[in-house]
């Protein structure tokens, strides 16, 4: 998994990071970041939780039977 994370970033020139966590155990399976410039974005970078939580929200909606074209009423 570590090799795959590093391979995914091989041609990335913009700042980027990948952290792979096994959902069932919470175990960190891979960590990679680019560029390799002394600042480890995957470990030291701070990011708004909304940006990283969108995957969880989308998964919950899709698992609940809603599709990409479904509407959700917000009071």
Rounded to whole angstroms, the Cα distance separating 26 from 15 reads 25
Six-digit token string for 53? 């939580």
Long-range residue pairs from 25-33, CB within 8 A, at least 24 positions apart, any chain: 29/1, 29/2, 30/1, 30/2, 30/4, 30/5, 31/2, 31/5, 32/2, 32/5, 32/6, 32/8, 33/9
Per-residue pLDDT of the chain (75 residues; tens, 9 = 90+): 999 999 999 999 888 999 999 988 999 999 999 887 778 888 888 877 777 788 888 889 899 999 888 888 887
Domain ranges within the chain, ordered by starting residue: 2-63
Cα separation, 10 vs 35, in Å, equals: 9
For the question of whether the overall pTM of this predicted structure is more than 0.85, the answer is no
């Amino acid at each position: 998994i570590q090799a795959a994370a590093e391979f995914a970033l091989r041609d990335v020139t913009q700042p980027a990071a990948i952290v792979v966590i096994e959902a069932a155990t919470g175990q960190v399976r891979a960590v990679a970041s680019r560029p390799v410039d002394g600042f480890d974005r995957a470990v030291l970078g701070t990011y708004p939780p909304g940006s990283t939580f969108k995957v969880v929200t989308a998964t919950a909606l899709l698992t609940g039977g809603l599709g990409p074209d479904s509407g959700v009423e917000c009071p």
